[in-house]
Structure 1
Amino acid sequence: MSARRARLLGALLVAATLAACGGSSSPPDAPDTTATASATPEPLGTVAGVDLATEQFDGIEQHGNVLGDPDAKVTLVEYADLVCTPCAVYSQDVLPQVIEDHVRSGDVRIELRPIGIAQEWSTLAAQYAWGAAAQDRMWTFAKLWWANQRDETTDYVDDAFARRIAEAVPGLDPDQLVDDSRLAETRAQHDDAAQAFLTQQLDRVPAFAAGPTGGELEVLDLGETGAQASRALDHVIAAF
């Protein structure tokens, strides 16, 4: 990524309002993610949510950042931050019904686009998730990260935390994930997702857009419950 592009992206991110995630009126300056976060969090211990994640994603394809049939007629995009508390709530309380009702049936594919906008350390967390995507395990990794998420105002994001989560994901190589998180192409994936988020004039996470696969996506309000989200997608599916 060029220095000019980095400055442009940083300026765009500073313009975003994130009241729905941590109550921050504006995000902090763009972080330096070339080094491990300086804070040393307490040991994670047993990773929570492993059985739940296994059950939720069992038998569903994962390709890069996509969950579900790549050829599903409808695409749902989720913009999220691994450090963001409301994103963890959506992962736990809202999306499971969407996955069960629409992804498992093959009607909908979901693209998860992690971005770093809640805290200075959010971008590094997002890059870990994109690193998991390189091994087709982003969704399981993100699910377990959110299940073990800490106070978003505390900088707990580092290689040790990411490795501990990755170790609990079947088929995910923790060392490769950490290495991939630092690649230029991984940072570019994050930056492209952040650019798309702002281009769609979104200002908080989690945020969603949906439409025909390969076609134009429009911002979608999924509501606050799994049932509301499932009904919202029913309308999108019926339109195509």
Structure 2
Amino acid sequence: MQTATIAGAPALGKASAPVTVVEFGDYLCTFCHRFHEDTKGKIIQDYVQTGKAKFLFKDFPINDYLGGGSSLGAEASYCAADQGKYWEFHDYMYNNWGGEKAGWVTKESMADFAHNIGISNIDQFKSCLDSSKYANVVKDNYNLAKSAGLSATPSFVVFSASGEPKLVVGAQPYQVFQQVIDQSSS
């Protein structure tokens, strides 16, 4: 499972962590927002910060038809990554989530978000977004998810140290992730 690597959008956690959790998500997805609000922080605290797992996010913009914006938000996250603010932007998107059909993801709102998280060169951010510099990266991530048989967001692939993948579909409670990650660690 590989896609383009964006230097400013690294995995959270230690590269040597034995377990890798990959979220395939959509910035407009209700259940992705719910996972971010209810579960992600505990996974980061208990597994990523302790060196037991690393966490990655891959775009799976399946909700573009709901007023657009999924792909634009994903591209904006990589434009933020160009200035070292990928995870700040990612988290800000979910912390300021405006719903599935609300039209809240626009070039203007993305520039406002960039400003609010402390992007130092807003003109560079806007230029990046206007150029669609990362459109192919987002498309490649989408195609990766489809080729892996995924059809819903959020979907998670948890890789054990041996590379054995386990699938978790949906905004499952923390205990589900705890069980899968713990099994993948042994």
Alignment of 1:143 onto 2:100: no
Alignment of 1:104 onto 2:49: yes
Alignment of 1:66 onto 2:1: no
Matched length = 177
CA separation of 1:198/1:118 partners in 2, compared to 1, >3 Å: closer, same or farther? same
**8 Å contact from structure 2 (residues 35, 171) kept in 1:** no
CA separation of 1:225/1:161 partners in 2, compared to 1, >3 Å: closer, same or farther? same
Name the TM-score, length of structure 1 as normaliser: 0.65
1:80 to 4, 25, 42: 25
Unpaired runs of 5+ residues, structure 2, are 1-6
Counterpart of 1:129? 77
Which structure carries more relative contact order (alpha carbon 8 Å, separation 6+)? 2
CA separation of 1:106/1:149 partners in 2, compared to 1, >3 Å: closer, same or farther? same
Give the secondary-structure state (helix, strand or coil) at the position aligned to 1:227.
helix
Which has the larger displacement, 73-82 or 223-232? 223-232
CA separation of 1:100/1:222 partners in 2, compared to 1, >3 Å: closer, same or farther? farther
**8 Å contact from structure 1 (residues 83, 118) kept in 2:** yes
Q: Deviations over 1:114-160 (max 9, x none)?
A: 23211232111111112223333222211111111113112222122
Counterpart of 2:58? 113
**8 Å contact from structure 1 (residues 63, 136) kept in 2:** yes
What amino acid maps onto 2:117 in structure 1?
V
Q: 1: CA distance between counterparts of 2:160 and 2:130? A: 33
Alignment of 1:161 onto 2:106: no
Counterpart of 1:198? 146
**8 Å contact from structure 2 (residues 161, 185) kept in 1:** no
**8 Å contact from structure 2 (residues 153, 169) kept in 1:** no
Q: Deviations over 1:98-122 (max 9, x none)?
A: 0000000112111111232112321
Q: Which has the larger radius of gyration?
A: 1
1:230 to 153, 178, 182: 178
Unpaired runs of 5+ residues, structure 1, are 1-61
Q: Deviations over 1:34-92 (max 9, x none)?
A: xxxxxxxxxxxxxxxxxxxxxxxxxxxx9514211123222111111111111111001
Counterpart of 1:152? 100
Name the TM-score, length of structure 2 as normaliser: 0.82
What amino acid maps onto 1:140 in structure 2?
E
**8 Å contact from structure 1 (residues 74, 210) kept in 2:** yes
Q: 2: CA distance between counterparts of 1:81 and 1:121? A: 10
